Chain A
């Protein structure tokens, strides 16, 4: 919201100072903006369009860009092709477990690196940043072998542990960003007034941190939910998660596109809505202070 509001204001300033000359120019910019809107939004639109149109219309060689008849039959077919709720349930279990563990462990670590000065702090920060940069794909072989040795192949617990590799560094780093934005003076005031250090955290910092924690959790949840490669490699077909489920529409006999788009819609809509809710807060957290640097 803040982005829109501030730039809207500055845009107004320009318009005010430039008056008529700007007005004619704006039409061209608006048209260009609409072009961006159509291009960026088209894949999403086409997914919804295909999902809700009769399967026969989807394979029309001259497809209509506007919605034709509205039907839910593709969704029924998508649910039929392979068990949907099993994979969704497994994805939920994995994502929630990862977020809960990640937040509990990550919050402690974030506090340590943002509120304490200690020898080795910088090394820990560098380490956590560096760890985030290791491409996950590169790790699949040793992780696969590790879980194989531990007897965790094809177990949800194995996947949960694995997902912590990318959720944890991210959680620590983002929470750190939210914590450093809470003035230390508030905590100090509480401690001067007789709170213990823990008390000051629970009563003063925690309430202020809660929105950031919610945003971080939701974002972490989305990341875990969307992960594909590890879910594919570490679980067998009968234990597949929601992302892998989407692959069931392509068989040797071809692809059933309309139900596949219905499946995609079912996968994407809840995630996009969640994402919309936290996106602004996360973008702010990720780049906080970036300009100052």
Chain B
């Protein structure tokens, strides 16, 4: 390159050039920061995840195809492969199917109540005065921030048979005598209380996320719809809902995943020994592994739970990747 050709050309290029250095540096200039750097940065993270998540995940799969009980745990016997035995045993057990149905009904109830209540409260917050909104936000954030174990403990106290405040309040209603009523005597009623606990803890996240989304709904569009004769429901159905759809999909899938994985609430509420009527897939798998000491069957049940969730996870991931693409 001679001096007289570069001088006129040299000034403009840097103006347009700045962006490249970050993403694709010129090949000869900085070979070290080429393909290797990102992988170097990722290495510790991927390494840890492979050890604490990858390996156990593989082990979960292999375990479910083995015989693995107390004697294998202590090393008296080698774990032997038994093919699909664990799965046939689990799938052939009518109790398993009862647990599956119960888990799905429970999770569906949690998700529906959470989303509906969350949406209603988010819409309500748009219509109340500022001070009411602040009060509601404080209550929501406080209940969101409560550790699950503490929340469960508090609900146990609220619903206590003899001294629980709920029974005392209900008994004040004319003709209702609830003192001494044990909410956990029957599975459905007890699970309803646990559902309430889950919903109470999950609604704040939904409300706050949806409220943030609602502020992004253009007021002009709502007004335009109203001018065209849409009622409150019409505006919601044809303007608000479509705009919020990505958030709603994300929240719903997340809720499904979380509510299918409910464990401590049931476990602590039943003092560490959930009765048969209270078993959900998570506690059932735990029970098989650590109470019956059949680790292989427990793993098979856990694996079936994961498989059951795969469809939901796929929807969630698509949504998240769409968001990722925008940036």
Partners in one complex: yes
Q: Are B124 and A33 in contact (CB under 8 A)?
A: yes
Q: Is the CB of A261 within 8 A of B179?
A: no
Interface range on chain B: under 10, 10 to 19, 20 to 34, or 35 or more?
35 or more
Q: Chain B residues with Cβ under 8 A from A233's Cβ?
A: 290
B142 at interface (Cβ–Cβ under 8 A)?
A: yes
Distance to closest chain B CB from A103 (angstroms): 11
Q: Does A100 contact B (CB under 8 A)?
A: no
Compute how far the CA of A41 lies from the CA of B134 in the bound complex, rounded to whole angstroms: 13
- Cα distance, A36 to B126, chains bound together (Å): 14
Chain B residues, Cβ within 8 Å of A112: 37-39, 41-42
A-B contact count, CB below 8 Å? 332
Q: Which of B86-133 contact A (CB under 8 A)?
A: 121, 124-130, 132-133
Contact assessment for B326 and A289 in the assembled complex, using a CB-CB cutoff below 8 Å: yes
Q: How far is the CA of A133 from the CA of B244 in the complex (A)?
A: 23
For residue A129, give the distance in angstroms from its CB to the closest CB of chain B. 6
Which chain B residues numbered 154 to 189 have a C-beta less than 8 Å away from chain A?
A: 154-158, 160, 162-163, 165, 168, 179
Closest Cβ neighbor of B45 among chain A residues: A109
Is the CB–CB distance between A289 and B128 below 8 Å? no
A140 to B288, CA, bound (A): 12
Contact digits for A142-170, partner B, Cβ 8 Å, 1 yes 0 no: 11011010000000000001101100110
A62 to B133, CA, bound (A): 33
B145 engages A141 (CB within 8 Å) = no
B145 in contact with A4 (CB, 8 Å): no
Question: Does any Cβ of B come within 8 Å of A85's Cβ?
Answer: no
B56, A143: Cβ atoms closer than 8 Å: yes
Of the candidates A26, A134, A264, A291, the one having the most CB atoms from chain B within 10 angstroms of its own CB is A291
Which of B128, B168, B325 is in CB contact (< 8 Å) with A62? B168
- How far is the CB of A118 from the nearest CB of chain B, in Å? 5
Which one of B316, B319, B326 has the greatest number of beta carbons of chain A within 10 Å? B326
Chain B hits for A275, CB < 8 A: 141, 144-145
Tell me whether B261 and A139 are in contact (CB under 8 A).
Answer: no
Taking a contact as CB atoms under 8 Å apart, the answer to whether B323 and A46 are in contact is no
| B137 partner residues in chain A, CB cutoff 8 A | 4
A32 at the interface (CB under 8 A from B): yes
Is the CB of A117 closer than 8 A to any CB of chain B? yes
Interface SS majority for chain B: helix
> Are the CB atoms of A293 and B323 closer together than 8 Å?
yes
Is B48 a contact partner of A3 (Cβ separation < 8 A)?
no
- Asked if B235 is an interface residue, CB under 8 A from chain A, the answer is no
**Nearest CB of chain B from residue A69's CB, rounded to whole Å:** 17
Check if A111 is an interface residue, CB within 8 A of chain B: yes
User: Is A46 within 8 A of B154, CB to CB?
Assistant: yes
A53 to chain B, nearest CB (A): 12
User: Is A126 positioned at the interface, with any CB of B under 8 Å from its CB?
Assistant: yes
Q: Residue B153 at the A interface, CB < 8 A?
A: yes
A291–B154 touching, CB < 8 Å: no
B313→A106 contact, CB < 8 A: no
Listed by A's residue number, 17 A-B pairs whose Cβ atoms lie within 8 Å are A40-B203, A44-B139, A105-B48, A109-B42, A112-B42, A138-B60, A141-B302, A142-B60, A168-B48, A169-B49, A180-B327, A188-B21, A257-B160, A261-B154, A268-B146, A274-B145, A279-B145
Interchain residue pairs A-B with the least CB separation, the first 9: A275-B145, A41-B139, A109-B45, A142-B56, A138-B302, A142-B59, A112-B41, A135-B261, A33-B128
Additional pairs, 9, CB under 8 Å, beyond known A124-B42, A137-B263, A261-B157: A11-B130, A25-B127, A33-B135, A34-B132, A117-B24, A129-B317, A131-B53, A192-B14, A290-B250
Q: Which residues of A contact B (CB under 8 A)?
A: 3-4, 6-8, 10-11, 13, 25-26, 29-30, 32-34, 36-37, 40-41, 43-44, 46-47, 50, 58-63, 65, 104-106, 108-109, 111-113, 115-119, 121, 124-126, 129-131, 133-143, 145-146, 148, 161-162, 164-165, 168-169, 172, 180, 184, 187-189, 191-192, 197, 222, 225-226, 228-229, 233, 243, 246-247, 250, 255, 257, 260-261, 264, 267-268, 271-272, 274-276, 279, 283-284, 286-287, 289-293
Where the two chains meet, the residues of B that have a C-beta atom closer than 8 Å to any C-beta of A are 14, 18-19, 21-24, 33, 35, 37-39, 41-42, 44-46, 48-49, 51-53, 55-57, 59-60, 63, 73, 121, 124-130, 132-151, 153-158, 160, 162-163, 165, 168, 179, 200, 203-205, 208-209, 211-216, 219, 243-244, 246-247, 250, 257, 260-261, 263-264, 267-268, 271-272, 282, 285-286, 289-290, 295, 298-299, 302-303, 305-306, 309, 313, 316-317, 319-327
